[in-house]
Amino acid sequence: MHARQFGTLIGLAVLCAILWILTPYFLTVSNLLNVAEQTSINAIVAVGMTFVILSGGIDLSVGSIVALSGVVLGVSLKSDQPMLVALVVAALVGLACGLCNGALVSWGGLPPFIVTLGTMSIARGAALLYTEGRPVSGFDAGFRALATGRAGFIPAPVIVMLLVYLAAHFVLTRTTFGRYVYAIGGNEEATRLSGVAIRFHKTMIYGVSGLMSAVAAIILTARLNSAQPIAGMMYELDAIAATVIGGTSLMGGEGSLGGTLVGALIMGVLRNGLNLLGVSSFLQQIVIGGVIVVAVLLDTILKRRKST
Amino acid sequence: MKRSFVLILALAACSLSCNREAPDATKSSKPTVALVLKTLNHPFFVDMRRGAQEAADRLGVNLQVQAAEREIDVEKQMQIVENLIQTGIQALAITPSGSREIVSALVKARDAKVPIVVVDTRVDEKAAADAGVHTETFVGSDNYEGGKLAGDYLLKVSGGKARVGILEGIPGHETGDSRLRGFRDAVKAAPGVSIVASQPANWERDQGFNVFQNMLQAHPEIDSVFACSDLMALGAIEAIAAAGRTGKIRVIGFDALDDAKKAIGEGTMAASVAQFPSEMGRVAIESAVKVIRGETVPAQIKVRLELVTKENLQ
C-alpha cells in the first residue's frame, strides 16, 4: 500500500539531489525553511483536496474560499474584534462554504465538478463584493506572528502545516469517519448498502475541505499582511496537482496524506529550484506541467499493471 | 521507483537548459542584480526587461529576471523574492504586484541587507514606513500626470463636450487608481463632460471587450472611452467594431503599445499615453548599480510621458 508513496518520496529526494548538484544555494538551512514556508499554504489546501479526491469527488472552489475567508478575516481584524473571534469567524466561513458544497453534492445529487465550479464563482464574487474589490491591509504584530513567528528556527506556517497534517492523518487513519472517506471513494454503493450514512459523511468531507481553505487563508493573510479578494486564484489546480503527484487516485479510494505532503513539497522544491537556477518563468511553467503529467502517467501505468 | 527515473530524466533535460541560462554568481566577481517583474506576458514588461538587460550588459553586471505567471499574484512574487535572496543578489529591482502586500517581501530583502529599487508601481509609503522598509529610489512615470494628459487631450478634441465611459484596471492598484484620478481631475472642470460609466476590466483585453460591450448596451450615448491601459482599450475597439460604430467613438488608451499605435494609425483609436518601459528598466538597473557602488541616488526618478496621436505617430 505504501509502495507508491515511497516512490514519490524517492522522487523528492532525487529532485533535491539534482538541485544540490546544480546550485550551491539550494541545500542551506535558510533555503529549506524558505521552501517549507512557501509550501505550507498549498499543502494545507491540499489536505482538504485529498479528503475530497479520496472520496471520489473534486473541489474546484478552494481558491475562492481562501479569498472569501481571507477577506472576512481581514475585515474582522480591522474592526477591532479579538483575534480569536476573527480566526473563528474565518474558519466558520470556510466550513460553511464547504458544507454547502457537500450538501449540494450529496442531497442535491449534483456532480461535484459542477457544484464546486459554481461555488468557485460565487465565493469569489462574494469576496469582491464584500470588499468592493479592494485589499484589506495592515494588521497588528500579534496576528502577523502566525506567518512571521518562529518556534526555535522553524517558521510558524510550517508548524501549523505539520499540526494540520498530524491531525488530518489521525482522522483519516484512526477514525471511522476516515475509513468511510476511503470506503465512499472505493465503492459508494457498497458503502451505502452496508448502512453508512453516505450523505452526512460526504457533506462533512467537503466541510473539511472548506475548513482547510480557511486555515490556508489565515496563513496567507498573515504572510502578505493583507487579505485580497483576488487571492487564491488557481490554488485548486496546485492542490489537485500536489494530491495527484502524491499518489492519490482521481478515481477515489486510494491515496494518503503523507503522499500529498510529499507532492506539495515536490511542487514547492521545483518552483524554488527553478527560481534559484534563474530559469525563465515561461520554461518553469512547462517543467511544472511536465512533472504533473508524468506523475499521473506513472500512476495510471502502475494501476494498469496491477490489474492485469 | 519508475516515477523517480522519469523525474531524473525530466530534470536532467531541464538542467541542460538551466546550465546555459544560469549566470554563475559564485565564480565571477560580477555583482548580480535581480529584476522581479509583475509578469512577462505583457509587452510593457518585456520592453522593460530589454532595457534592463542592455543596461546590465553595458555596466557588466549579471541580471536575473523573474516574474510571476499572473500580474496579480503577489504571493508568487513574494516567493520569487525570497528565493532570489537565497542566491545572494546584491540589489533588488522590483515592480510590485501590490503596493501594500509587497512590503512583506521587502522586509525579507531588508533583513538580508539587499538594497531595493522600486520600478513602475509605487510601494505604499505608510505600509513601508510601518514595516521599517527603506527603498533606495522609485523609478517610474507619474501615472497621475499621464491620466491628466489623457483628460486634457479629450477636452481639447471634444471641445469640452463628451460622454465618457471609463475602463479601470484592477481596483486597489496604485497604477490604475492614479491614472484614473488624473483623468477625472482633468475633466472635472468642464461642465460639458460627463462620465456616464466607469467599470474595472482588470487590465485585460478580453475583459475590455466584454465590459465595454455591456457599457454600450446600457449607455448608447457614450462618445468617448478612456481605458487605463491599451490592452483594455484594444478590447473596447473590438466591441465598438462589433456594434458597428467604428470611428464614432473616441478611444484613449495608456501605454502606447505597438498594437495601439497601429490602431491610432488606422484611425480606430484616438490617442494613447506613452510610457517608456525600456527606459524604466535601464534607469532601474543603473540606479541599482550605483547603490551597490555606494553612490547616492535621488529618492525618485521620473521617466518621461508622451501623448501619441495620429499627428505625432512616427
Where are the domains positioned within chain A? 41-265
The answer on pLDDT for B148 being more than 80 is yes
Are B130 and B147 part of one and the same domain?
A: no
Q: pTM of the predicted model, to two decimals?
A: 0.81
Are B286 and B265 part of one and the same domain?
A: no
Residue B291 domain flag: yes
Contact list, A24 vs chain B (CB under 8 Å): 26
Alpha-carbon distance values, A127 to A69, A73, A135, A137 (Å): 8, 11, 10, 15
Among the ranges given (A6-20, A285-299, B133-147, B176-190), the one the predictor scored with the smallest mean pLDDT: A285-299
Best of B2, B15, B16, B18 to disrupt the A interface (most A CBs within 10 Å) is: B18
Residue B216 domain flag: yes
Domain count, chain B: 2
Kindly report the nearest CA distance between residue B36 and chain A, in angstroms. Answer: 11
Residue B47 domain flag: yes
Dist CA B300 CA B149 (whole Å):
21
**Interchain pair A279, B86: CB under 8 A:** no
B60 touches chain A (CB under 8 A): no
DSSP state of B71: T
CA triple B62-B68-B69, angle to 5 deg:
125
B171 touches chain A (CB under 8 A): yes
**Interchain pair A31, B2: CB under 8 A:** no
Q: Find the CATH number of the domain harbouring B101.
A: 3.40.50.2300
Among the ranges given (A5-9, A27-31, B134-138), the one the predictor scored with the smallest mean pLDDT: A5-9
Kindly report the nearest CA distance between residue B313 and chain A, in angstroms. Answer: 33
Output the pLDDT for position B257: 87
* Residue B66 belongs to domain spanning: 28-141+276-303
Using pLDDT thresholds of 50, 70 and 90, give the confidence band for residue A308.
Answer: low
- Beta-bridged to residue B91, according to DSSP, are B33
Dist CA A95 CA A188 (whole Å):
24
Q: Which is nearest to A38 in space by CA: A277, A216, A230, A289? A: A216
B299 touches chain A (CB under 8 A): no
Are B90 and B158 part of one and the same domain?
A: no
Residue B85 domain flag: yes
Output the pLDDT for position A2: 54
Output the pLDDT for position A134: 82
**Interchain pair B21, A279: CB under 8 A:** yes
Contact list, B172 vs chain A (CB under 8 Å): 133-135
Strands B137-140 and B116-119: parallel
Dist CA B215 CA B232 (whole Å):
13
Best of A8, A136, A224 to disrupt the B interface (most B CBs within 10 Å) is: A224
Are B123 and B245 part of one and the same domain?
A: no
Q: Over the stretch A165-210, which tens digit does the pLDDT of each residue have? A: 999 999 999 999 999 999 999 999 999 999 999 999 999 999 999 9
Q: What cell was used for B53?
A: 538587460
Nearest by CB to A277, which of B18, B75, B82? B18
The answer on pLDDT for B23 being more than 50 is no
B120: alpha, beta or left, given left = phi > 0 and alpha = psi -120 to 50? left
B246 touches chain A (CB under 8 A): no
Burial category of B211 from C-beta neighbours within 10 Å (exposed 0-12, middle 13-18, buried 19 and up): buried
Residue B23 domain flag: no
The answer on pLDDT for B24 being more than 60 is no
| Torsion, CA B15, CA B19, CA B22, CA B28, rounded to 10 | 140
Using pLDDT thresholds of 50, 70 and 90, give the confidence band for residue A302.
Answer: confident
Using pLDDT thresholds of 50, 70 and 90, give the confidence band for residue B1.
Answer: very low
Mean pLDDT of A34-40: 93
Output the pLDDT for position A138: 86
Residue B22 domain flag: no
The answer on pLDDT for A61 being more than 60 is yes
Alpha-carbon distance values, A200 to A164, A251, B95 (Å): 23, 21, 48
Contact list, B170 vs chain A (CB under 8 Å): 133, 230
Q: How many CA atoms lie within 13 A of B305 on its CB side?
A: 21
Q: How many CA atoms lie within 13 A of A288 on its CB side?
A: 25
Are B91 and B159 part of one and the same domain?
A: no
Are B253 and B298 part of one and the same domain?
A: no
Dist CA B10 CA A270 (whole Å):
12
B40 touches chain A (CB under 8 A): yes
Are B112 and B174 part of one and the same domain?
A: no
Nearest by CB to B23, which of A34, A278, A290? A278
Q: What cell was used for B156?
A: 481639447
**Interchain pair A278, B172: CB under 8 A:** no
Q: Over the stretch A94-136, which tens digit does the pLDDT of each residue have? A: 999 999 999 999 999 999 999 999 999 999 999 999 998 788 9
Output the pLDDT for position B174: 77
Strand ranges, E, within chain A: 136-137, 150-151, 154-155, 226-227
